[in-house]
A and B are shown apart, each in its own frame.
Chain A
Amino acid sequence: MSLIDKDEALIIAALKGSAYAWEKLVKRYESKIYNHGLRLTGSSSDAMDLMQEVFLGVYRNLHRFRGDAKFSSWIFRIAHNKAVDMNRRKRLMTSPLKFFADDGDDGFEKFPGKKELEPENRLGNQEQNVHVLKLLSELNSDQRSIVELKVFQSLTFDEIAELQDVSKNTVKTRFYSALKKLKVVSEEKNVLS
């Protein structure tokens, strides 16, 4: 990547009003953010909404980016905050009964997208992605968020702890619980199939 193509150079150019630099910056991260949203929400329209909110947030706060951390970490911090906001909004808009209807007594709060997950319809023939979404839909929002950040974004436990404003041990525990749950679900599916 040439010097002029680096994130920092693009950010400086975008702040000076270069639409070309802004578009290039967005193009570089839009797929990651969209897929991040898709895995978190299970819905392409929600993922689009989330992505647009993220880039709006990036645009509004671009002048505050100091370059202390990597731009990718910064943008995923915004994405995480927006996802939490979206989760909260959906929880408020939807009745609690809906969230817990299929949840049994495990006490986990399901991510709002779970009831709306229709991966077969949304992703066509991409069976692998459908399978992944089905697995993720079994996790609660905190677990899903940690799995997303750890497995797909390759963040460290320290980074995730800072991002979610919880202790590192909490993150570790949640991550392990999530993997255990995924293990159980996978085994159940294997037995049924």
Chain B
Amino acid sequence: MSCPKTHYILQEYFSENLLTVARDELDKHLTECVYCNAQLESVLLAQQNLRQWQDQRTPHWDRGLELFRQEHRIDRPVSRFWISWQWLPTAASLAMLCVLLFNVSVVSNDSGFSISFAGSSDLDSNLDTQLVEFEQAQRLEIKQLAARVAIRQDSTNLQLLRAVMEQTQQSTADSFDHMYAYFEQQRLLDLQDMRASYEQLVDSDYETIRSLRQLVNYVGFQSDIR
């Protein structure tokens, strides 16, 4: 059994701004009409099935930040301190360039500092003289140093040689002592061995004589019996 109003009823059921009178009529029909009610139930169930969706996590992406930064010309954030002092290297370079270009000389003496531009001949000659004197003094000092090093080296070599010789003598004497002790010990051992051999030999001779004597006695006894 079907209902001719089903299509209209269900279509309107999902309207949001239905008049109260129309909503009441609709509810009344749905209460009375079993077919429409069953159709509504199954349609709501289908809608309920869709609502089981669980949001998926969005894969990683840059969120258009690169484009945003490019179009707004946003560079990496730089500290305000460095921004305010970034003129300093330029100024220092300029100052150094000026010093080179104008040949600025700064001289320190007893009366204080003096700064001169484009250099001066007196200053140059004075500087040359000072450099020559400094060179000579340095050469002299190096020679003296070399002589001291040579003397110290000789002395060290001599001490080393002496120590080596003493060590050699000592070790030679110790070697002779050891050899003498070894020979003496060996000699005593040989004597002991020789004595033991003689004693053994004498004992065996005694044994032989005793055996001969017993043999003679035995032969004599046999003769007496016959």
Chain A positions near chain B (C-beta within 8 angstroms): 14, 17, 19, 22-23, 26-27, 30-32, 34-35, 38-39, 44, 48, 51-52, 55-56, 59, 123, 126, 128-129, 131-132, 135-136, 147, 150-152, 156-158, 172-173, 175-176, 179-180, 182-183, 186-187
Q: Is the CB of A183 within 8 A of B43?
A: yes
Of B10, B43, B63, B74, which one neighbours A55 at CB under 8 angstroms? B63
Bound-state CA distance A48–B14 (Å) is: 32
Q: How far is the CA of A147 from the CA of B53 in the complex (A)?
A: 13
Whether the Cβ atoms of B49 and A182 lie closer than 8 Å is yes
Contact yes or no, A19 B69, CB < 8 A = yes
- In the bound assembly, the distance between CA atoms of A26 and B56 in angstroms comes to 16
Q: Which residues of B contact A34 (CB under 8 A)?
A: 56, 58-59
Interface of A is mostly: helix
Chain B residue at minimal CB-CB distance from A59? B64
Please, how many angstroms separate the alpha-carbon atoms of A181 and B184 in the complex?
Answer: 126
Interface membership of B162, Cβ < 8 A: no
B:41-68 near A, CB below 8 Å: 42-43, 45-47, 49-59, 61, 63-65, 67-68
Partner of A17, one of B14, B42, B58, B74: B74
Given contacts A126-B54, A132-B52, A186-B45, contact A17 B72 (CB under 8 A): yes
Residues of A within 8 A of B72 (CB): 17, 19
Q: Which of B15, B43, B47, B58 has the most CB of A within 10 A?
A: B58
B7 within 8 A of A: yes
Please tell me which one of the listed residues B10, B14, B55, B61 contacts residue A150 in the complex, with CB atoms under 8 A apart: B14
Going nearest first, the 8 A-B pairs with the smallest beta carbon separation are: A182-B46, A17-B72, A26-B63, A183-B46, A128-B52, A34-B58, A179-B43, A176-B11
Q: Chain B 7-19 against A: per-residue CB contact (8 Å), 1 yes, 0 no?
A: 1001110111100
Q: 30 interchain pairs (CB within 8 A)?
A: A22-B63, A27-B63, A30-B63, A31-B55, A31-B58, A34-B56, A34-B59, A39-B53, A44-B56, A52-B61, A56-B67, A59-B64, A59-B67, A123-B56, A126-B56, A128-B52, A128-B54, A129-B53, A131-B49, A132-B49, A132-B53, A150-B14, A151-B47, A156-B16, A176-B14, A182-B47, A182-B49, A186-B45, A186-B46, A187-B42
Partner of A147, one of B50, B68, B74: B50
Enumerate chain A residues within 8 angstroms of B50, measured Cβ to Cβ.
Answer: 132, 135-136, 147, 151-152, 182
Which residues of chain A are near B61, meaning CB under 8 Å? 48, 51-52
How close is A137's CB to chain B, nearest CB, in angstroms?
12
Q: How far is the CA of A128 from the CA of B56 in the complex (A)?
A: 12
B-side interface residues, number (CB < 8 Å): 33
Q: Which listed residue, A27, A44, A132, touches B59 by the CB 8 Å rule? A: A44
Whether A179 contacts B56 by the Cβ 8 Å rule is no
Question: What are the residues of chain B within 8 A of A179 when measuring CB–CB?
Answer: 10, 43, 46-47
Judging by beta carbons under 8 Å apart, are A129 and B54 in contact? yes
Cross-chain contact A172 with B14 (CB below 8 angstroms): yes
Q: Give the one of A19, A126, A131 with max B CB within 10 A.
A: A19
A156 touches B64 (CB 8 A): no
**Contact partner, A129, options B56, B59, B74, Cβ 8 Å:** B56
* Smallest beta-carbon distance A155→chain B, Å: 10
- Note all chain B residues with C-beta closer than 8 A to A176: 7, 10-11, 14, 43
Specify the chain B residue showing the minimal Cβ separation from A168.
B15
**Interface pair B65/A19, CB less than 8 Å apart:** yes
Bound complex: CA A147 to CA B15 (Å): 14
Q: List the B side residues contacting A173 at CB < 8 Å.
A: 11
> Which residues on the B side are within 8 Å of A56 (C-beta)?
64, 67
Inter-chain contacts of A157 with B (CB < 8 A): 14-16
Closest to A132 in B: B53
